[in-house]
Amino acid sequence: MLHLLLLSALCAMAYGQCPNILTKAQWGGRAATCRTAMTTPVAYVVVHHTEGTACTTQTNCIAQAKSVQNYHMNSNGWCDAGYSFMVGEDGNVYEGRGWSSVGAHAPNYNSNSIGISVFGSYTSRNPNAAAQNAVQNLISCGVSRGFIRSTYILKGHRNVTATSCPGNTFYSTVASWPRFQA
Ligand SMILES: *[C@@H]1O[C@H](CO)[C@@H](O)[C@H](O)[C@H]1NC(C)=O
Ligand SMILES: [Zn+2]
User: Which sequence spans correspond to the domains of the chain?
Assistant: 18-174
Any ligand 1 atom below 6 A from CB of 157: no
Any ligand 1 atom below 6 A from CB of 43: no
What pLDDT, on a 0 to 100 scale, did the predictor assign at position 23? 98
Can you give the pLDDT of all 182 residues of the chain as single tens digits? Answer: 444 444 444 444 445 679 999 999 999 999 999 999 999 999 999 999 999 999 999 999 999 999 999 999 999 999 999 999 999 999 999 999 999 999 999 999 999 999 999 999 999 999 999 999 999 999 999 999 999 999 999 999 999 999 999 999 999 999 999 999 99
Q: Which atom of ligand 1 is nearest to the CA of 164?
A: 5
What pLDDT, on a 0 to 100 scale, did the predictor assign at position 16? 60
What pLDDT, on a 0 to 100 scale, did the predictor assign at position 6? 46
What pLDDT, on a 0 to 100 scale, did the predictor assign at position 56? 98
Q: Is residue 41 reached through a cis peptide bond, with omega within 30 degrees of 0 on the bond before it?
A: yes
What pLDDT, on a 0 to 100 scale, did the predictor assign at position 7? 47
Measured in Å, residue 169 CA sits from the centre of ligand 1 at 14
Task: Label residue 106 exposed, middle or buried (CB < 10 Å: 0-12, 13-18, 19+).
Answer: buried
- Entry pTM: 0.92
The dotted CATH code for 18-174 is 3.40.80.10
Measured in Å, residue 71 CA sits from the centre of ligand 2 at 14
Any ligand 1 atom below 6 A from CB of 182: yes
DSSP strand E in 61-180: where? Answer: 85-87, 93-95, 113-118, 148-156
Q: Which ligand is nearest to the CA of 154?
A: 1
Any ligand 1 atom below 6 A from CB of 167: no
